[in-house]
Structure 1
Amino acid sequence: MEKMRIVVGGFIGLFPTGGATWDYLQYPLGLKLLGHDVYYIEDTQLYPVYQASGDSWDDCTFGVEYLKKAMAEIGMEDRWAYRDVATGKTFGLSDSKLKEVCETADVYINVSSSTVWRDEYRKIPVKILIDTDPMFTQYQYHLKMEAGGTEAEYSRDYMHGHDLFFTFGLNIGKPDCRIPQFEYNWLTTKKPICTDFWDQPFTNQSKFGFTSIMNWTERPDFIYEGETWGQKNKEFRKFFDLPTVSKQKFEIIINRPKDAATAQSINNLMDRGWDILSPNHLISDKENYKNFVQSSFAEFSVTKETYIKSNSGWFSGRSAVYLASGRPVLTQDTQWSKYIPAGEGVLAISDLDTAAQAVEEVTGNYEKHSRAAREIAREYFDSGKILSDILAHVDSKKELALDSSQARQVPV
């Protein structure tokens, strides 16, 4: 594959936390490992979500410094830019270098619809959308189309600004999948994992037990086709008694909820034997996050109701780094088991009984499941394979564009 100049957009500076960093960082890192000329440009037109104590609500300093450090740690210290909506300033690359990068880029990879379009991005020959939140993404588009007017016009223009559409919904387009596709040709992909960065020698010793990292509710339920579509809090009810039934240690990092009803739900979890850990220090940056994952015995993961109800085929990028670390994963099946083998290394669960059986299986045959976990990560999530597949579609797109251009030049 020829070397390309590729720009990646994401949310590292806006969400300066360990998990989000790995979610987006492995795109530029993985492309760099493939030998491409890669830049990361964060241009969300959103005000900073996190600030250091005492900073103004619109001060992006904390996020910018965090992004600067993260990029330096992967050898891309001079290959990033952060465009700040509050001040209009660009941090990292100079304005002239940013302009030159965009003018000479072959591909723009827009992860999680993070980038707001500017003319310089639109002119890049191939623009790719990576939908990391299947069904939620399409529902938002559905809402805009229903609203009509300028909202619909803007949303349609934004989507049509892309040339290729990829989704983590591995089951999209299949008869049992309920995700609306609209007029877009959705291709499937998975979270790219730079597996060499997660590999570690086998050990059955761990500081933590069955762990995971989650939000209880990220957003309110929504109504689609007359039904309610919800978050992890609904699915977790099925497994409340798992620590008691399995007699194993379960430690979950959850942001403490802001409302009283959700706080009570977290207290109910603790009463039933769940250890609720604070994200502070444990996953505050990418290295802490990695250490937490690799210090865990295995992952027990609850999935958002919407991913399950839509039969999306979504599989967690967080679970994928557990696998790459040789940590078995127990997680609910969104139909991902059609595309990723289940049973060894990663076990599909649906209710309390299947979860308890999976816990017993992993604890009784840990080395087997640990080795299988690592093998699945390398076979199904390796960044080299996933990103090469995406770029193979880019090559096809460029060939079609060239053929069309040549056809238009044939005299009639």
Structure 2
Amino acid sequence: MKGKRKGKVVVLHLAARYPFAGVIWQLIHHLLALRQIGFDVYYIEDHRSYVYDPTIESGTGDPSRNLKVLNGVLERYGFGDRWAFLDSAKEEYVGMSRARCMELFRDADMVVNLCGSTEPREEHERNRCLVYLETDPGVMQLELARKIPTTVAFAKAHKLFFTYCYNIGAPDCLLPSGGVKWHPTRPPVNLDEWHPGIGAAEPRAFTTVGTWQNNGNDMVIAGETYYWSKHLNFRKALEVAARANQPIEIATNLSGGPDYERAIAGGFTITPVVPMSLDIDAYREYISGSRGEFTVAKDIYVRPRTGWFSDRTVCYLAAGRPVVTQRTGFEKFIPTGVGLMGFDTPDEAVDAIKQINADYFRHARAAREIAVEYFDAVKLLDEIAVAAGI
């Protein structure tokens, strides 16, 4: 990046709708990097959906609790007067005024529809460069290929398309392009927020964080079903902890049943994901205090060879914590073998953990180096700015 860029950028997202630490960090990594690049940055959340209240485990028309959490984070990072939320129940904007939001949509040099969180309306389409930034590839590509009218209309509203399906267009990737010119990208992490060495020098347990089983968004390609959940792949690896003689903890919402019993019998520890996952500092401390991450990926990313990579995993890497994760095709683009270990089988996972434990500090240093080289938010968001011509 040569010098500072100029102009206004608006980010659309769903951090109030789903106020989990991982979701909020995803937003913060983008906001901070865009500001570091030199842009005048704003956050607007106007998807018109009810929010999820994790304290009652249900959707609600009252966003006040979630907005209090989000406002505290945004104020902390200097965006306290630069955000707005459309309360769809009251048809009122919280934070910046409706008039200010409309002005920003009209005048911004770029509006980033992060996660495709917002169905574009006239005010969004008015912008000169509405960017679709996809973090969960699969459904969009298939529906475009099948010419689903609502998806085609959604796509037409955007000027540029970015995706974490880094392998799209390659012969071994099963996802179609759907007639769209995709720009592959990776999940960004703000390196200043994740410092190597926080917590114990050589922590005891590998960990991961996430929902055990997701429902919906399964895909059918050439008659084969690919599942939008990673519990199916975790089931294949529930003896890895015992076989590697390595404590592994999963912070998740699994509290009983056959999967739980198998995980415990296989040497895993299961811990509640809430309340840790509702606080960005507790979430960061949990990751930074881990020995590393052991995880699998959703079936829809693995078998179709998408090249997808996790925005949670990049936080482990940035914190200098080695990662053992299931291959999705990302290994074609990101070096593995030191700091980042890919696996296809439980045997490979066990071997990867043993390799890390045999020379832990070498792998820890390499993890941070991979984050710096491949996932630096400033580099990745600047690439988007270049493509947008701003």
The more displaced of 279-288 and 262-271 is 262-271
Structure 1 counterpart of 2:102, from 99, 102, 107: 99
Moved over 6 A (4+): none
Distance across 2 between alignment mates of 1:371 and 1:294: 13
Structure 1 counterpart of 2:180, from 184, 202, 212: 184
Query: 2:12 touches 2:113 (CA, 8 Å); kept in 1?
Result: yes
1:73 deviation in Å?
Answer: 1.5
Query: 2:210 touches 2:273 (CA, 8 Å); kept in 1?
Result: no
1:65 deviation in Å?
Answer: 1.3
Q: How does 1:244-263 map to 2 (within 5 A)?
A: 244-256=242-254, 263=257
Distance across 2 between alignment mates of 1:110 and 1:19: 18
2:161 is paired with a residue of what secondary structure? strand
2:343 aligned with 1:346: no
Distance across 2 between alignment mates of 1:350 and 1:314: 15
Structure 2 counterpart of 1:298, from 284, 292, 303: 292
Which amino acid letter does the alignment assign opposite residue 168 of structure 2?
I
Distance across 1 between alignment mates of 2:378 and 2:60: 39
Structure 1 counterpart of 2:78, from 72, 75, 83: 75
Q: Evaluate the alpha carbon distance shift between residue 109 and residue 36 of structure 1 in structure 2; reply closer, same or farther with a 3 A threshold.
A: same
Q: How does 1:327-346 map to 2 (within 5 A)?
A: 327-346=321-340
TM-score normalised according to structure 2 size: 0.94
What count of residue pairs does the alignment treat as equivalent? Answer: 385
2:384 aligned with 1:390: yes
Distance across 1 between alignment mates of 2:59 and 2:176: 41
Residues 169-204 of structure 1: per-residue CA shift (max 9 Å, x gap):
110001111111111001111111101110233776
Structure 1 counterpart of 2:371, from 359, 373, 377: 377
Q: What's the % identity of the aligned pairs?
A: 31
Residues 15-41 of structure 1: per-residue CA shift (max 9 Å, x gap):
001111112221111101212100011
Structure 2 counterpart of 1:223, from 198, 220, 223: 220
Q: Evaluate the alpha carbon distance shift between residue 326 and residue 61 of structure 1 in structure 2; reply closer, same or farther with a 3 A threshold.
A: same
Distance across 2 between alignment mates of 1:116 and 1:82: 15
Q: Evaluate the alpha carbon distance shift between residue 372 and residue 308 of structure 1 in structure 2; reply closer, same or farther with a 3 A threshold.
A: same
User: What residue in structure 2 maps to residue 272 of structure 1?
Assistant: 266
2:112 aligned with 1:109: yes
Backbone CA RMSD of aligned residues: 2.0
Distance across 2 between alignment mates of 1:55 and 1:356: 38
Normalized per residue, the structure richer in helix is 1
Distance across 2 between alignment mates of 1:350 and 1:322: 20
1:7 is paired with a residue of what secondary structure? strand
Q: Which runs of 5+ in 2 are unaligned?
A: none
1:52 deviation in Å?
Answer: 4.8
1:44 is paired with a residue of what secondary structure? coil
Distance across 2 between alignment mates of 1:198 and 1:280: 21
**Bigger Rg, which one:** 1
1:361 is paired with a residue of what secondary structure? helix
1:119 deviation in Å?
Answer: 1.7
Distance across 2 between alignment mates of 1:139 and 1:182: 7
Q: Evaluate the alpha carbon distance shift between residue 36 and residue 58 of structure 1 in structure 2; reply closer, same or farther with a 3 A threshold.
A: same
1:92 deviation in Å?
Answer: 0.8
Query: 1:52 touches 1:62 (CA, 8 Å); kept in 2?
Result: no
Q: Which runs of 5+ in 1 are unaligned?
A: 146-151, 399-412
1:305 deviation in Å?
Answer: 1.3
Residues 336-378 of structure 1: per-residue CA shift (max 9 Å, x gap):
0111100111011111111111111111111101111111101
User: What residue in structure 2 maps to residue 243 of structure 1?
Assistant: 241
Query: 2:197 touches 2:288 (CA, 8 Å); kept in 1?
Result: no
1:254 deviation in Å?
Answer: 1.1
Query: 2:145 touches 2:177 (CA, 8 Å); kept in 1?
Result: no
Structure 2 counterpart of 1:283, from 264, 269, 277: 277
